[in-house]
């Protein structure tokens, strides 16, 4: 192979990865898989697309070696193939935040001002959750909580929150989190809690952000939940 052919081959392989993530739905699927292994059916529901479309997107990601799959009975389960894949998605997000004012404007329009958790850092937030001065609330589906959650967090999925408000101490500040900075579940939870008089704020972090910082994450047995 001559030098020009070699360079063309190298950049062609780099482009395979770029092409695989050049789809909003495929990036969303990678974000969902960062929460843990999931079936095609679950991924389709949570990304608001048909099973056929989700399967086609997952196949593109698999061909680029970004996800891996296994079969169990009639279902196929996907997982992130390498932690570097989640870092790639985080880097893409960070680059978009720095370079695209449209993203910053859209995020501000939906989420409003960032939650005022400063001067607390992540470890201080954990300490407050452990001592019980705040309630760290995980509003993702239960199977995502089981696959990995922040220490001392309590699981109340968003769809169950209004029926389970009695489980939340009225005199304790609630810090709700979900899948990461652009997950909308935590904002919906905070809006609901504030409507009912609970002091609540949104934590923009999710489990992948904590793992990336080397902070502890707890896990339980995994089961699928719609």
Domain ranges of the chain: 3-85, 111-212
DSSP SS3 for 75: strand
CATH 1.10.3130.10 given to domain 3-85: no
Local confidence band at 119 (pLDDT 50, 70, 90 cut-offs): very low
Condensed to tens digits (0 to 9), the pLDDT of residues 153-198 reads 999 999 999 999 999 998 899 999 999 999 999 999 999 999 999 9
Condensed to tens digits (0 to 9), the pLDDT of residues 190-214 reads 999 999 999 999 999 999 999 988 8
Neighbouring residues of 34: CB distance < 8 A, sequence distance ≥ 6: 80, 86, 89, 179, 180, 206, 207, 208
- % of the chain at pLDDT higher than 90: 85
Local confidence band at 122 (pLDDT 50, 70, 90 cut-offs): confident
**30: burial class by Cβ within 10 Å (0-12, 13-18, 19+)?**
buried
Condensed to tens digits (0 to 9), the pLDDT of residues 10-64 reads 999 999 999 999 999 999 999 999 999 999 999 999 999 999 999 999 999 999 9
Active site residues: 178
Neighbouring residues of 20: CB distance < 8 A, sequence distance ≥ 6: 26, 60, 61, 63, 64, 66
Q: Which CATH number fits domain 111-212: 3.40.1440.60, 3.40.250.10, 3.60.20.10, 3.20.20.70?
A: 3.40.250.10
Condensed to tens digits (0 to 9), the pLDDT of residues 103-115 reads 999 999 999 876 5
State the DSSP code for 3.
H
* pLDDT at residue 120 tops 90: no
**So what's the pLDDT on residue 226?**
44
């Amino acid at each position: 192979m001559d030098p020009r052919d070699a360079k063309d081959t190298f950049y062609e392989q780099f482009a395979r990865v770029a092409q695989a993530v050049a789809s909003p739905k495929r990036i969303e699927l990678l974000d969902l898989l960062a929460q843990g292994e999931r079936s095609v059916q679950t991924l389709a529901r949570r990304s608001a697309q048909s099973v056929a479309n989700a399967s086609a997107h997952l196949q593109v990601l698999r061909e680029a070696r970004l996800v891996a799959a296994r079969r169990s009975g009639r279902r196929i389960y996907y997982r992130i193939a390498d932690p570097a894949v989640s870092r790639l998605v985080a880097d893409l997000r960070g680059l978009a935040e720095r370079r695209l004012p449209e993203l910053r404007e859209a995020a501000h329009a939906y989420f409003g001002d960032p939650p005022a958790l400063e001067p607390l850092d992540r470890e201080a937030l954990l300490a407050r959750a452990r001592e019980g001065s705040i309630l760290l609330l995980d509003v993702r589906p239960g199977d995502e909580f089981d696959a990995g959650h922040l220490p001392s967090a309590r699981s109340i999925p968003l769809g169950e929150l209004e029926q389970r408000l009695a489980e939340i101490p009225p005199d304790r500040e609630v810090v709700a989190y979900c899948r990461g900075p652009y997950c909308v579940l935590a904002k919906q939870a905070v809006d609901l809690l504030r409507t009912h008089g609970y002091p609540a704020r949104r934590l923009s972090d999710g489990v992948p952000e904590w793992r990336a910082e080397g902070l502890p994450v707890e896990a339980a047995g995994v089961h699928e939940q719609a």
